[in-house]
Amino acid sequence: MKLLIIIVNYRSAALTADALLSLLPELEQLQSSHVIVVDNASGDDSIASLSKFIDQTTPLADFVTLLPAERNGGFSYGNNFGIRHWLTHNGPPDYVLLLNPDTVVRPGALRELIQFMDRHKDVGIAGSRLEDPDGTPQRSAFRFPSVPGEFEGAISFGPVSRLLSRWVIAPPVSNEAHPTDWVAGASLIISWQVIGQLGLLDEAYFMYFEEVDYCLQARRAGWKCSYVPASHVVHLVGQVSQVTDPNKSRKRRPRYWFESRRRYFLKNHGACVLISADLAWLLGHALHRARLFVERKPSDAPSHFIADFIRYGVFVRGFEL
For 300-318, the pLDDT digits (tens) are: 888 889 888 888 876 656 5
Distance, CA of 314 to CA of 266 (rounded, Å) = 9
Task: Give the rounded percent of residues in the chain with a pLDDT score beyond 70.
Answer: 94
pLDDT at 299: 84
| Mean pLDDT within 155-160 | 94
Please check whether residue 309 is in contact with residue 254, taking contact to mean a CB–CB distance below 8 angstroms. no
| Mean pLDDT within 59-82 | 96
Please check whether residue 39 is in contact with residue 82, taking contact to mean a CB–CB distance below 8 angstroms. no
For 1-18, the pLDDT digits (tens) are: 999 999 999 999 999 999
Q: Is the pLDDT of residue 150 over 80?
A: yes
Nearest to 245 by CA among 12, 25, 6: 12
pLDDT at 310: 84
pLDDT at 238: 66
Please give the torsion angle defined by the CA atoms of residues 103, 109, 110 and 116, in that order, rounded to the nearest 10 degrees: -130
| Mean pLDDT within 95-117 | 97
> In angstroms, what CA-CA distances link 296 with 154, 178, 292, 300?
18, 41, 6, 12
Q: Is the pLDDT of residue 95 over 70?
A: yes
For 235-250, the pLDDT digits (tens) are: 998 666 555 555 555 7
| Mean pLDDT within 209-227 | 98
For 223-276, the pLDDT digits (tens) are: 999 999 999 999 998 666 555 555 555 788 999 999 999 999 999 999 999 999
Q: Is the pLDDT of residue 218 over 80?
A: yes
pLDDT at 163: 96
| Mean pLDDT within 191-202 | 98
Domains in the chain: ranges and CATH: 3-138+173-240 (3.90.550.60), 150-167+249-321 (no CATH)
pLDDT at 319: 64
